[in-house]
Amino acid sequence: MKGYGIKLRPYLLLANAVSLGIVLGLLFLSYSRMLLDRSTFLWLGGATLAAGLLSFAVHYALVRPLERSVERIGEASREIASGSFGTEVPIVGTAEFRQLAEGFNAMSRQLDESFTRLRRSEESRRELVANAAHDLRTPLALLQSHAEALQDGLIRDEETFRRYVNTIRTESARLGALVQDLFELSRIDAEAEELRPVPLVLEDVLVETLNAFSPRLEARRIDARVALPDPAPAVLGTELAMRRILGNLLDNAIRHSPEGGVVRIEAAAEGPGRLKIVVADEGEGVPRQERERIFERFYRVDPSRRRDGSGGGLGLAIAKALVEKLGGEIGVEDGVPKGSAFWFTVPQAQR
């Protein structure tokens, strides 16, 4: 059985009564030692007793607000224990109780924010698992069905045979890319690899990134136009992270650009010590109501707006995670005159 002990108010009143009793006892003892007549002794004794009773009454009244403050904190604590995070108490009473209430409210807000993040993290984890299972199931089903058709000898003509083999190769590459993206996200979340930024010439990183994407740009007849300040700026980052960020944004721009379109890559100073890099396409654009979620894992804008099925919905999430680790920000806005303009900022370095 749980014992609660004596409550605060009775304890303070009892302490006051004991102290008053000691004081009154000493006073009456002093009066008895004085050469006082009976009437004077009674008058002094009555006055002393009345003063003691008045002091006890004032103490009784003053203790009540303190007790109420403690009760409020106790009630709020029970609400938090029952799962009602974010509960706050009024800041009233003496300085110490006001400080206690402020500290309690700060703790309650932090608990509410922490559990909100935990809930969102759990929801994101469930959504991640569900979306990953869906995206893995599709290529696996195609691989299985095409492999079984080839194994059973159902494909006779050469053209269909090549088409099936090409599908198997394409879906295997897509599956491998998805698994690699999941692996990279897990490494970023676990901080398995510490990013140590060093000065990098942005032009060099862009040249290597564009060279890697040149076959896709040529296949879709997309013109990549680069506009950099003169001299070419340097940024603080890692070559692998910068190439992955630019590569993911460029991959997204290519997938959503029409054939024969233009992809623009621009850079400009963004305040002291910051560089803003923009990758713009001439696609359909991102609706304003979806711009906050476009960087979530596996989140896709309306699939009917996609020009191909090569994306797994992780590229922008990886770009966001890497940009934030480099100390920058990332976002999307309307392109000019159409399309989308994905931008991110990174610290600028001296060349």
Averaged pLDDT for residues 94-110? 77
Pairing of strands 234-237, 340-349: antiparallel
DSSP 268: E
Decide: helix, strand or coil at residue 26: helix
CB neighbourhood size of 157 (10 A): 8
Q: Is-contact 341 295, C-beta < 8 A?
A: no
The CATH architecture of the domain made up of 198-349 is: 2-Layer Sandwich (3.30)
- Element (DSSP H or E) covering residue 279: strand 274-280
**pLDDT tens, 275-331?**
999 999 888 878 777 777 787 766 665 544 444 444 556 788 888 888 888 888 998
**pLDDT tens, 54-92?**
777 777 777 777 767 777 777 777 777 776 776 777 776
- CATH code, 124-189: 1.10.287.130
pLDDT > 70? residue 33:
no
Spell out the domain ranges in the chain.
8-112, 124-189, 198-349
**Start-to-end CA span in the chain (Å):** 72
Average pLDDT, the chain: 77
